[in-house]
Amino acid sequence: MHEGLHQRPRKAVRPGRRQRLATYWASALLLASGVLWLVAHHLLPLPEFAARHPLEPWAMRLHGGATLFGLAVFGSLWGDHVLPAWKQGRHRAHGGALALFWLCLILTGYGLYYLADETARALASNSHIALGTLLVIGLAVHVGMAGRHRRPQAS
Ligand code: HEM
Ligand code: HEM
């Protein structure tokens, strides 16, 4: 913005404070609700006569809400951040990987809604959970690297 000394001023691509906060909240809620489901599904003892743990549907209700919120946040970042940052060519490797994880999580999540075949569902489920872990690591790496290379005057 105020880069009068540069011949070609670069558009600021750092997400604003609210956008950053929204990104962290969405990611944290998606992770927390996903992990809650995993714990309820695999670790907690089943109450008597129950086919599944009563926490499971609650975890997925929260996860569904977090998904809607997360997709809105991702959509706002796409035009404001992902595309312009890609054009500038900075942090492409881990930024691009993070964007890819989001897209694959959306695809596998969609599969979890509609796949009926047991093998296909299991594949979608396992890939989704692995990608969920990668998403969290990817965000930490991306934000860490972006912070390390930030120019001092940017706040
Ligand atoms: C092709 C994809 C992407 C590229 C090339 C990219 C590139 C960048 C760059 C260059 C910065 C530093 C901005 C600056 O300080 O001037 C940055 C910061 C950031 N990026 Fe990305 N990014 C990509 C995708 C994403 C995605 C998908 C997300 C989250 C869903 C994301 C979240 C963030 C956040 C939160 C920051 C701010 C970190 C901070 O300064 O505290 N980025 N990115
Ligand atoms: C872009 C981010 C994400 C999207 C769009 C997304 C979407 C979805 C959707 C649509 C479902 C199916 C909901 C249902 O059956 O009621 C689901 C299930 C699930 N998600 Fe995510 N999710 C995301 C991130 C994550 C993360 C970060 C984790 C953390 C590990 C995670 C873990 C899970 C788990 C454990 C399930 C249940 C799997 C199963 O039913 O076999 N998700 N997700």
Token pair, residue 71, equals: 């997709």
Helix (H) and strand (E) counts in the chain: 5, 0
Closest ligand to C-alpha of residue 144 is 1
Task: List the residue whose alpha carbon is closest to atom 42 of ligand 1.
Answer: 95
How many angstroms does the Cα of residue 35 sit away from the middle of ligand 2?
A: 9
Task: Give the confidence band of 155 by pLDDT, cuts at 50, 70, 90.
Answer: very low
- In this predicted structure, the answer to whether residue 9 has a pLDDT above a threshold of 70 is no
Q: Give tens-digit pLDDT for 67-100.
A: 999 999 999 999 999 999 999 999 999 999 999 9
Task: List the residue whose alpha carbon is closest to atom 35 of ligand 2.
Answer: 34
- In this predicted structure, the answer to whether residue 38 has a pLDDT above a threshold of 60 is yes
* 0.75 surpassed by pTM: yes
How many angstroms does the Cα of residue 90 sit away from the middle of ligand 1?
A: 9
Task: Give the confidence band of 152 by pLDDT, cuts at 50, 70, 90.
Answer: low
Contacts of 59 (CB under 8 A, 6+ apart): 33, 34, 36, 37, 40
